[in-house]
């Protein structure tokens, strides 16, 4: 199986509480099929050096690039890309059907866990559990200052301030490291991590397409106060696309 790793950063800060992705603009995205082929999608800085949001045309080109890769045999792969990254692109580009098809035929590492365990798992925990270096937290700013606590939450303001190199350096790790995780999963058919209480956890799973995960039995989440529902991940998708991919919304 050939994987196309994908991730996106946002231009606007995420508000507290429920987020309407129609109000959020992307800043930069990256894809790669190996460590040497990282491609970035973004718009140039403004004349005053401040960062600009990704143009709609660039975002559409990103969708069509991933579409072409999928048609040539690659599976789009990432972490929480169905509920956020591809959903965001659908809202921003209005290519809702295309993004829904990409999402249902992608492989979402978080959903491989969520559909079996009933809860979310962070990317860092999965990377460390697989023996892959965790997310990159050290980046260098334009003035030479080194930040050692870089995170996705810092990326929007940094991008708006014109810190393109630092944000893209961080983003590069967010496609290269998951790609390495995907390679481990392909060879081992399992994900491992350590719980917050320090207990080793894991799940046996192949690289299954999102649409096929809906065939799995629903795990017992009676012990959880607010378990994620499967419908949450596909509510943004047209029912016609769901049916075309074998998902009956009335049974989810």
Tell me what pLDDT residue 206 has: 93
pLDDT in tens, 116-141: 999 999 999 999 999 998 788 999 99
Query: Residue 32 and residue 35: Cα distance in Å, rounded?
Result: 7
CATH at residue 173:
3.30.420
| Domain count of the fold of the chain | 1
pLDDT in tens, 166-213: 999 999 999 999 999 999 999 999 999 998 888 999 999 999 999 999
Q: CA-to-CA distance for 196 and 50, rounded, in angstroms?
A: 39
64-117 per-position pLDDT tens digit: 999 999 999 999 999 999 999 999 999 999 999 999 999 999 999 999 999 999
Residue 241 confidence (pLDDT) above 90: yes
| Cα–Cα distance, 89 to 98 (Å, whole number) | 10
pLDDT at residue 224, rounded to an integer? 82
Residue-range definition of the domain harbouring residue 232? 2-251
Give the whole-angstrom CA distance, residue 207 versus residue 186.
Answer: 7
The pLDDT of residue 217: 93
Q: Which residues pair with 31 in a beta bridge?
A: 6, 39
| 156 C-beta neighbours (distance < 10 Å), count | 21
| Residue for token pair 């973004």 | 42
| pLDDT confidence of residue 100 | 98
Q: How far is CA 203 from CA 59, 107, 168, 250, in A?
A: 34, 16, 32, 28
């Amino acid at each position: 199986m050939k994987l196309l790793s994908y991730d996106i950063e946002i231009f606007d800060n995420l508000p507290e509480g429920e987020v309407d992705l129609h109000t959020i603009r992307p800043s930069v995205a990256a894809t790669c099929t190996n460590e040497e082929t990282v491609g970035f999608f973004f718009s140039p800085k403004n004349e005053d050096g401040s960062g600009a949001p990704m143009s709609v045309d660039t975002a559409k080109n990103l969708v069509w690039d991933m579409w072409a890769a999928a048609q040539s045999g690659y599976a789009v792969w990432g972490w929480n890309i169905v509920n956020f990254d591809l959903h965001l692109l659908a809202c921003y580009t209005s290519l809702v059907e295309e993004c829904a098809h990409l999402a249902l035929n992608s492989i979402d590492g978080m959903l491989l866990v969520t559909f079996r365990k009933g809860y979310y798992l962070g990317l860092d925990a999965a990377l460390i559990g697989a023996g892959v270096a965790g997310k990159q937290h050290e980046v260098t700013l334009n003035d030479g200052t080194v930040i050692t606590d870089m995170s996705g939450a810092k990326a929007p303001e940094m991008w708006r301030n014109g810190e393109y190199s630092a944000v893209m350096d961080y983003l590069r790790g967010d496609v290269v490291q998951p790609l390495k995780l995907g390679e481990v999963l392909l060879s081992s058919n399992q994900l491992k991590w350590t719980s917050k209480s320090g207990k080793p956890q894991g799940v046996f799973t192949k690289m299954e397409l999102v649409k096929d995960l809906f065939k799995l039995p629903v795990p017992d989440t009676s012990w959880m106060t607010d378990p994620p529902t499967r419908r949450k991940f596909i509510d943004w998708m047209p029912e016609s696309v769901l049916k075309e991919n074998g998902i009956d919304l009335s049974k989810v």
